[in-house]
C-alpha cells in the first residue's frame, strides 16, 4: 500500500510541476493590460444618464474613449427618455440595442436622422 501512495504522490507532484511550467509560459512575460481611456468630458453627461437608466455602455473607442455601443432596457425607455439621453451627441455611436423598451418607430426615425450610420437593434429581454 505504501508503494501505491508513493507512486500516486510522485504522479501528483509531476502533474503540478508540469502545470506550473505550462502556465508560466516558459519564461514569457504576460503583457500589461492596455491603459484605461477615460470617457471624454463632452460624453460624460450622456454616459451617466445611460447608467442611471440601468443601461450599459457596451464598448468605447480604445483610443479616444468615445462611446460606440449602448444597450438600453425596460419599459421606462421610451421616445422621450431616448431623446433626453442625448444619444445624438455621441458621434462615434455605432450600435444601439433596445431590449423590451417602449421606443416607437417615430423614436427610431428621429434618432436615425441624427445618426444616419447608427445600427439600431430591437430585442426582447431575456426572461
pTM recorded for the entire structure: 0.69
> Is a pLDDT exceeding 90 seen at residue 17?
no
**Whole-number average pLDDT of the chain:** 84
CA atoms of 50 and 93, how far apart (whole Å):
13
Partner residues linked to 98 by β-bridges:
72, 122
**Per-domain residue ranges for the chain?**
41-123
**For the residues 23-49, what does the mean pLDDT come to?**
78
Greatest extent of the chain over all pairs of C-alpha atoms, in Å: 79
> What pLDDT, in 10s, does the model give residues 37-48?
888 999 999 999
Amino acid at each position: 500500500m505504501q508503494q501505491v501512495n508513493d507512486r500516486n504522490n510522485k504522479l501528483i507532484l509531476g502533474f503540478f510541476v508540469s502545470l506550473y511550467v505550462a502556465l508560466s509560459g516558459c519564461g514569457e512575460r504576460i503583457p500589461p493590460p492596455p491603459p484605461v481611456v477615460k470617457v471624454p468630458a463632452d460624453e460624460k453627461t450622456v454616459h451617466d444618464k445611460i447608467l442611471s437608466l440601468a443601461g450599459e455602455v457596451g464598448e468605447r473607442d480604445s483610443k479616444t474613449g468615445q462611446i460606440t455601443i449602448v444597450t438600453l432596457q425596460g419599459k421606462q425607455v421610451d421616445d422621450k427618455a431616448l431623446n433626453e439621453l442625448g444619444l445624438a451627441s455621441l458621434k462615434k455611436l455605432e450600435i444601439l440595442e433596445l431590449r423590451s423598451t417602449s421606443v416607437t418607430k417615430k423614436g427610431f426615425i428621429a434618432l436615425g436622422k441624427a445618426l444616419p450610420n447608427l445600427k439600431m437593434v430591437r430585442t426582447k429581454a431575456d426572461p
